[in-house]
Structure 1
């Protein structure tokens, strides 16, 4: 593991690779003991940053992380989790309201087996909820010592700026980190999200640096459709025969050839590319198996040459998302037709 990086302006230092745990539990590796061993291997390799969420396998991922950090490992780990997604049939068991946040943080603390969460993140925006309501609840949790820092995930640039404005004008704790999707195939955040994060001194931990598996090396022209639980859940995003995915398949093929010429695996190329951007603090890796973890460890020690970076820019131009589905969030102003059309009399 290379030198740790500053986590924004907090004074905290984190590893360039962050261990994501979405694939531990019912939606991935269902063997708790095996998942714990994978987490321990990552920690032993120098990773000190672990990211999870309450909705990952309905809390099971947090429970597994709690098991892995028991016995003295907790103090040396920067632990992040998230709140927002639905965890029940009750309409109030989700979202960004004070009511839900104050209740759900207690459940996360219990599952994680800890007294505090280092980074508590709002998993997605919720335009119908005043963000001051959300920040007010999170500020109270910081002052109670239950969380240390506040983060967001997949927020639009304007929402990131609004959060900073609210904190300054209304005396709230400041959001210190943003977690956006970023990969060789999804470079849209280079336009505004990353520059805004730099302007306000936010840490950036990018999710899906392997583009949901498109950059694992399995998606190649002429190959069979890779079998994965993620593809089963989101067939339209991962179907290699779908016309809307043709650009991603072409790019994955070209990038795989570039990686081979550079003496790298496609996984190494993908991760080192994300870590090359000066605004990125950590790239979240999400292994399900030991083999997947081992294939990703060490990518933070690779520096891509200017020639390789220039060739990447020709394959996927800077600021480009090859598929709108990879943006991670569709603002209501785009996704809801009623917001784009004048009402009929």
Structure 2
């Protein structure tokens, strides 16, 4: 399953291999096997970041992917996305979105990834101390040098997307091709601003954490079985306290459908208007296969309506401000 990324001609797989687990949770041999299996199943887009692998050292995950690309000759088979902006050391200059750090960060990522170009170079988080003219100055240099093909954002607000695109238009630049945001049945706030803004500006949307860190992957049944991993910690554990009743209802509904909760939650994200693709963070080849099943079995209208009842949208639903105007 391929989809065009926003206004560009770049074709990305609707299921994107997220690599945040590589290094610490997934060792190198298993990570390489996962990448091989994912590529064979049609997941041709790989998403990483310069600081991933911090459990080993910042940059470890890019290094791992670089070794995999070089060993298998896979570079021309994949769309490679990485990010810049997160702290890479204790040096205050070694982070953020200054032109200096964007250019230096790109050069470092290229070395770690063992490639001559990055297909989608994403701003990992907003740095509102840096004007968009400076960000675009750096990106235009990298694009002209052929080191970056397209630029994306991540974890932005609607106003950030508007400022980025309006500044790019004034400079006759390409603008942002995509936004990467947290979006799932539990976190539906992007429907208010992010998705409408992205659609208006011709941007693709790549969703991270479509299972809300495992909360929507059968968290309660895994707790009862004593097999919970990600869903027993962090964001999922915090959200479970607030959404336990809804999660219980969701898992019962999935049992009724005869489908894995993770598959249903991912299928819901892929069904949403404006969503180009979803980033999955597999730890096993079975997780890859479950993700593929979600893409191959879309949800019906009655099933989507039931999920809306279990996890209601914000206000009346839809974009702001209509969602809260009564």
Q: What residue number does 1:125 align with?
A: 126
Q: Is the 8 A contact 1:219 1:226 kept in 2?
A: no
Residue 72 (structure 1) aligned with residue 73 (structure 2): yes
Q: What residue number does 2:104 align with?
A: 103
Task: Report the secondary structure of 2:6's partner residue.
Answer: coil
Q: Is the 8 A contact 2:212 2:236 kept in 1?
A: no
Task: Report the secondary structure of 1:307's partner residue.
Answer: helix
1:68-90 alpha-carbon deviations (Å, 9 max, x no partner): 22232110211100001111010
Q: What residue number does 1:216 align with?
A: 217
1:212-262 alpha-carbon deviations (Å, 9 max, x no partner): 111121335973886546865x3xx343xx6x6433222221111111212
Match of 2:49 among 28, 53, 64: 53
Return the TM-score normalized by structure 2.
Answer: 0.90
Q: Which ranges in structure 2 are unaligned for 5 or more consecutive residues?
A: 316-326
Q: What residue number does 1:22 align with?
A: 20
Coordinate RMSD, CA, aligned: 1.9
Q: Name the CA distance, whole Å, in 2 between partners of 1:219 and 1:133.
A: 47
Alignment of 1:327-342 (within 5 A): none
1:108-139 alpha-carbon deviations (Å, 9 max, x no partner): 11111100000000001111121221121111
Q: What residue number does 1:187 align with?
A: 188
Worse-superposed segment, 168-177 or 157-166: 168-177
Q: Which ranges in structure 1 are unaligned for 5 or more consecutive residues?
A: 321-345
Alignment of 1:298-337 (within 5 A): 298-319=293-314
Q: What residue number does 1:86 align with?
A: 87
Q: Name the CA distance, whole Å, in 2 between partners of 1:89 and 1:226.
A: 37
Q: Is the 8 A contact 2:66 2:114 kept in 1?
A: yes
Q: Name the CA distance, whole Å, in 2 between partners of 1:4 and 1:224.
A: 36
Structure 1 residue 41 displacement after superposition: 0.2
Task: Report the secondary structure of 2:247's partner residue.
Answer: helix
Return the TM-score normalized by structure 1.
Answer: 0.85
Q: Name the CA distance, whole Å, in 2 between partners of 1:152 and 1:73.
A: 25
Q: Is the 8 A contact 2:215 2:231 kept in 1?
A: no
Worse-superposed segment, 12-21 or 141-150: 12-21
Q: What residue number does 2:321 align with?
A: none
Aligned length: 310
